[in-house]
Amino acid sequence: MNTRLAEPAAEVVSTAGMGDFRDPPGAGVLAVTTARRAVLGHRWLGTVGPARSAWWTRGEFADLTKDGLQLAKHPDAEAVVLIGPGTASVRVRLAVAFARHLAERPRLGPRYVPITSPSPVPVPGGAVCVAHLVTVGHGRPAVDTALWEITTPAREYLRQGVAGPDPAVRAWVDTHAHQLAGLRNAARTSRLPRTPAGRALAALLDGQPLTVPFACVHSALLADVLRSAEPRTP
């Protein structure tokens, strides 16, 4: 799997405004469109924000990325979400909210339609699957999680302005994305481990959110923090 990891500093999403959204009945691809513009062959799942609708069609896991890239070419599509089999409802809704969040950013080139997924997916050559650490900005207490975006290296370069990290570092961050989301939450709520590594991490963050670019630069320290937080066996 060609997975790359990068992300702007503070990702905050909310599923508010999705009151009549119905969960898709299985794996497939979902398009977000303006108003009630129909996507032929897709089932309407409800609204996902002001004047935005969700349309879904069934798909096989192995074909999700191919189907999603094709759906992103639809003239009415503003965002696309890939939904694997057995995905929890809350994860589907977060991926939809995150896709809308990305769609509202300044465009990364002409006709940019973000494609997101609740979990990493295989991608074809010329594409990358990038992890984002995200804070869910509604509910109490707020939580942090990892979500994924399918994009191209060129668009990631436009977003970051720098080359990607060492492949080994990239792979480590990918493997530990959900644990890093836990550390992001711990840092945000002042609950990092009270160990030398935890204190060093708190000092480096200095109140800022833990992001994927930060994790790529400080992967060794983060690995120490994760190890120090593991329960010790007698």
- pLDDT single digits (tens) 36-67: 667 778 999 999 988 889 999 999 999 999 99
Residue 7 reports pLDDT greater than 50: no
**What span, in angstroms and rounded, lies between the C-alpha atoms of 127 and 152?**
5
- pLDDT single digits (tens) 86-119: 999 999 999 999 999 988 876 656 678 999 999 9
Q: What are phi and psi of 173, to 5 degrees?
A: -65, -40
**What span, in angstroms and rounded, lies between the C-alpha atoms of 234 and 38?**
60
User: What sign has the CA pseudo-torsion 157, 159, 165, 169?
Assistant: negative
pTM passes above 0.75: yes
